[in-house]
Amino acid sequence: MASGNAVPRAQLHIRAKGNTKCKDHSENDVIFLCQNCKTLICPTCSISIHKSHIDSFVEISKIETENKNAIQFFLNETDNVNIPKLNQEIISSRTKMSSYKPLYNNLRKKIIYNNNQCKLELDKITDVYIKFCDKMEVAAMDLIQTHITNLEERLDTLKQLSSEYKQTLQTGNAVLVYDSVSEIREMDPDIPPTPNIDMAEFTPGMARLSHLKQAIGNLKSPTDHLQTELATGGHSDQCPVVRPKQSTETGQASTGEVQYKLRDRPTVMSQFSYPDNIRWICPTSDGRAWLCDCRHLHTKARQQPRSGHTDDTTPQ
Ligand SMILES: [Zn+2]
Ligand SMILES: [Zn+2]
C-alpha cells in the first residue's frame, strides 16, 4: 500500500488513471470492483466476462472511505516517516561522498610517495652500480698501465743492453764478455703475459614491470573490471618498453644463455609442391624460408602461412 513505488498497476495502462469509463464499454461508468481480477468493471462487464466472479464484486462507492483511509495512511507514513528518512539518507550519502574525497587524496599521496621512494632507491642502486663500474675500470686501467710500464722498462733495458753489448763485442775484454754472457743467461727472455681483465657484467632485469609493481606496492580494486584495468595498466608485462639485448623468448636471461627446447616431432606449418629437389631449407628471420637445390644453385623464397609465429625451434 504505502510502498512509495510509483510504478502503476497493469490495468492503469489500459484504463487511464482517474478515467471513470469502462475500458471495454466506453459508454459505461465503472461501478464495481471485481476482487477476483482486481479490476474496476461496468454493469455490462458484470453480466458478461466477469459474470462468474459475482461473489467478489464490491461497489466502488462502498469502499471509497476505506480507500481514502488507505491514502491517508500512506500520506501519514510518507510525510512523517518516508520523506524524513529519504532526506536523512541523502544527507548521509552526501556526507559519505565528502568523506571519501580525503580518503582518495590520501591514497593518491601514498602511491606518489612510494613512487618517489622507488625512484630514490633506483637512483641509489644505479649510483652504487656506476661507482662499482668506475672502480672496476680504474682497477683494470691500473693493471694494464702497470703492464705497459713493465714492458717499457724492459724495452729501455733491452735497448740499453743492446748498445752496451755491441760495444762489448767491439772493445770489451774477455772478462766483460764473460760477465755479459752471465748477465744474458740470467735474463728472463719471456715477455710477461698481457693481464687478463675480467669485464664486469650487467644483466638487464626481466619482467621489469611486475617487479616494479611489487616495489611500488599493490593497489587493489574491490571491483573486478577495474582490477583488470589495473593488471594490464595499458602495458603488457611480457613486453618491456625497451627490450634488453639478452632477453630471450624462453626467458633464460638469468644465465645469459639462449636455450631452445627441441620438439619431439616437427610441426607442419605449410605444405607445397616444388618441381625440383630440395637440398636445403633455411629459415629467415622474417618467418620465411630459403629453399635450395644445389645442382642448379636455384633458390626460391616462400611465404610461411602464419606471420609472427613463435615456434620454439625457430629463433626469431
Ligand atoms: Zn465494461
Ligand atoms: Zn473478474
Environment of ion ligand 2 (residues, CB < 5 A): 34, 36-37, 50, 53
**Which ligand is in closest contact with the Cα of 29?**
1
CA of 64 to the centre of ligand 1 (A): 20
Buried b (16+ CB within 10 A) or exposed e, 230-263: eeeeeeeeeebeeeeebbbeeeebeeeeeeeeee
CA of 248 to the centre of ligand 2 (A): 80
Do 4 and 78 contact (CB within 8 A), yes or no? yes
**Which ligand is in closest contact with the Cα of 34?**
2
**Which ligand is in closest contact with the Cα of 50?**
2
Identify the bridge partners of residue 21 per DSSP, sorted by sequence position.
29
- Classify residue 267 as left (phi > 0), alpha (psi -120 to 50) or beta: beta
CA of 24 to the centre of ligand 1 (A): 5
CA of 72 to the centre of ligand 2 (A): 28
The reported pLDDT for the residue numbered 316 is 36
Hunting for cell 645442382 — which residue is that?
Answer: 295
Residues 316, 305: Cα–Cα separation, whole Å: 16
The reported pLDDT for the residue numbered 295 is 56
Classified as helix, coil or strand, 201 is coil
Classified as helix, coil or strand, 75 is helix
CA of 26 to the centre of ligand 2 (A): 18
CA of 65 to the centre of ligand 1 (A): 24
Q: For the chain, what is the mean pLDDT?
A: 80
Tell me how many helices (H) and strands (E) the chain has: 7, 6
The reported pLDDT for the residue numbered 7 is 44
Residues 146, 164: Cα–Cα separation, whole Å: 27
User: Along the 316 residues of the chain, how does pLDDT read in single tens digits?
Assistant: 344 444 444 444 478 899 999 999 999 999 999 999 999 999 999 999 999 999 999 999 999 999 999 999 999 999 999 999 999 999 999 999 999 999 999 999 999 999 999 999 999 999 999 999 999 999 999 999 999 999 999 999 999 999 999 999 999 899 999 999 999 999 888 888 888 988 889 999 888 899 999 999 988 888 766 666 766 665 444 443 344 444 344 443 444 444 555 666 667 777 777 777 777 777 776 667 777 776 544 444 444 444 444 444 444 3
Residue 91, Cβ density class (10 Å: 0-12 exposed, 13-18 middle, ≥19 buried):
exposed
Task: Write out pLDDT tens, residues 158-216.
Answer: 999 999 999 999 998 999 999 999 999 998 888 888 889 888 899 998 888 999 999 99
CA of 7 to the centre of ligand 2 (A): 23
CA of 33 to the centre of ligand 2 (A): 8
CA of 57 to the centre of ligand 1 (A): 13
CA of 9 to the centre of ligand 2 (A): 16
What are the residues whose beta carbons fall under 8 Å from the beta carbon of 180, sequence distance 6 or more? 164, 165, 168, 172
Q: What does the block give as the cell for 62?
A: 462502498
Residue 178: CB atoms within 10 A of its CB come to 11
Residues 20, 225: Cα–Cα separation, whole Å: 52
Do 25 and 37 contact (CB within 8 A), yes or no? no
Residue 230, CB half-sphere, CA atoms under 13 Å: how many? 12
Q: Show me where the domains of the chain are located.
A: 10-85
Q: What is the DSSP string of 126-194?
A: HHHHHHHHHHHHHHHHHHHHHHHHHHHHHHHHHHHHHHHHHHHHHH--HHHHHHHHHHHHHS--SPPPP
Residue 41, Cβ density class (10 Å: 0-12 exposed, 13-18 middle, ≥19 buried):
buried
Question: Domain 10-85 belongs to what architecture?
Answer: 2-Layer Sandwich (3.30)
CA of 75 to the centre of ligand 2 (A): 30
Residue 32, CB half-sphere, CA atoms under 13 Å: how many? 19
CA angle 261, 263, 267 (to 5 degrees): 130
